[in-house]
Amino acid sequence: MSARSTTTPWPLVALFTAGYLAPYLLPTTVGRLDAGLPLSATQAGAVGSALLLSSAAAGFLLASRVEGFGPRALARFGLALAVLGYGSAALTHAVPAVIAGAVVGGFGSGTATTVAASGIAAEQDPHRASTLGLLCVSALAGAVYLTVPHLGAGHGRPLAAIALTALAVWPLTGRLPVRTSTTGHARVEAAGLPHRRAGLTLAATLLCWSLAQNSLWGVSGRIGITQAHLSEVTVGAVFAIALGTGLVGVIGAGALGSRLGRAVPIGVGTALIAGCIVLSASAHDLRTFATGEIAWNTLYPIVLSYVLGLAASLDPRGRWAVLVGSASSLGTAAGPLAGSVLSAGAGFPAMGAILAAGLVVIAVPMTGVALGVRRLPSVPFLSARPTPFDAGRENPACPAFEDEAPSGPKGGLGAPPPATPAPAPAA
């Protein structure tokens, strides 16, 4: 069995939070680009899509390269790009510069997420680590939604929040491995990705799943302001409350673990999300809008945490976790533009009905993967193959972390695992 840490991987959780914050702030980012710059709603949605597409591209390009570059160096590179890109986009009003900064920052977010996903897949309980990451990003995003409306107008506030988060996470990268182990590398590379059919099915369906979610999420601010006739402060408060209840959902998912398996949370949860999307997209008052958004944001992280755990279970090296997450980012990237085009052509209620129908359809193959993964054969040589985050465990005289003495690892991500084999990840 691959050596897996049993301690809470806070550096990975922080990196996960920094990488995922941009998608969580999408409604206010797109809305403020529309209001603060000479851009139409569709053009602002396209900028949001470009940001998220860049993030997805980073995942696809770097999925198999975390080991080569080293987790610490790659994480710092991603955070530096996020600070530079989002920071410059926040400080300028020139549209080309804002777009360029958003794309650079998006690539940085994707790089951070790639390193985090690879490390989380190496944990004893990937579902728990993913849940902690979603918990942190939901709490931070909720705080931003409550704060930003009181900081004045302008497109730069949400972008600055993402840049500052990346800057704050930087010191924690000192606890990530500086190098990787090469034991068994040739055998793993020769075999390629395990469980290709399940992984490809999950990646394709999660792309569509994320597209549907973020088509609505990207225009939720406009639904609240233009269709439900609410103020920006009220809409921000609804989003903050919704993300707060999402925290409850994430905590519940972590406590529930694998008791219901993976199929029920993913299949039933997706069907319920479809109903929430219809309700939210058809809202004409505060009660309906708030009910739809709060219920939806409660369910969304629950289902996502199980899907991420399912992807991690397909490959202990984390390659499917990164590739499935990148496919999700592609759907997320297309969401703002798709939502803007659908709502402009058919109206918000019709858009919601179309998205909900699509979700019900893709829930079937997603549930099928969750049911079938229990019957998938294991990959024996992977069990002996150390992950990048096990570096330094074979040779304590060469510590992987800055704060480890040569006498051996003393805890944290580099601590030796227990003698008991790690159980299959609960997701």
Tens digits of residue pLDDT in 1-15? 344 455 778 899 999
pLDDT in tens, 184-200: 444 444 456 777 888 89
3-state secondary structure the chain: CCCCCCCCCHHHHHHHHHHHHHHHCHHHHHHHHHHHCCCCHHHHHHHHHHHHHHHHHHHHHHCCCHHHHCHHHHHHHHHHHHHHHHHHHHHCCCHHHHHHHHHHHHHHHHHHHHHHHHHHHCCCCHHHHHHHHHHHHHHHHHHHHHHHHHHCCCCHHHHHHHHHHHHHHHHHHHHCCCCCCCCCHHHHHHHCCCCHHHHHHHHHHHHHHHHHHHHHHCCHHHHHHHHCCCCHHHHHHHHHHHHHHHHHHHHHHHHHCCCCCCHHHHHHHHHHHHHHHHHHHCCCCHHHHHHHHHHHHHHHHHHHHHHHHHHHHCCCCCHHHHHHHHHHHHHHHHHHHHHHHHHHHHCHHHHHHHHHHHHHHHHHHHHHHHHHHHHCCCCHHHHCCCCHHHCCCCCCCCCCCCCCCCCCCCCHHHCCCCCCCCCCCCC
Instruction: Please give the average per-residue pLDDT across 38-63, as a whole number.
Output: 86
pLDDT exceeds cutoff 80 at 172: yes
- Residue in 187, 136, 146 with CA at minimum distance from that of residue 17: 136
Percent over 90 (pLDDT), the chain: 33
pLDDT exceeds cutoff 80 at 282: yes
pLDDT in tens, 75-124: 999 999 999 999 999 999 999 999 999 999 999 999 999 899 888 877 77
pLDDT exceeds cutoff 90 at 233: no
- Arithmetic mean of pLDDT over the chain: 79
The whole-number pLDDT of residue 76 equals 95
Instruction: Please give the average per-residue pLDDT across 251-278, as a whole number.
Output: 85
The whole-number pLDDT of residue 159 equals 94
pLDDT in tens, 294-339: 999 889 888 888 887 788 788 777 778 778 877 887 887 788 788 8
* 237 against 401, higher pLDDT: 237
pLDDT exceeds cutoff 80 at 387: no
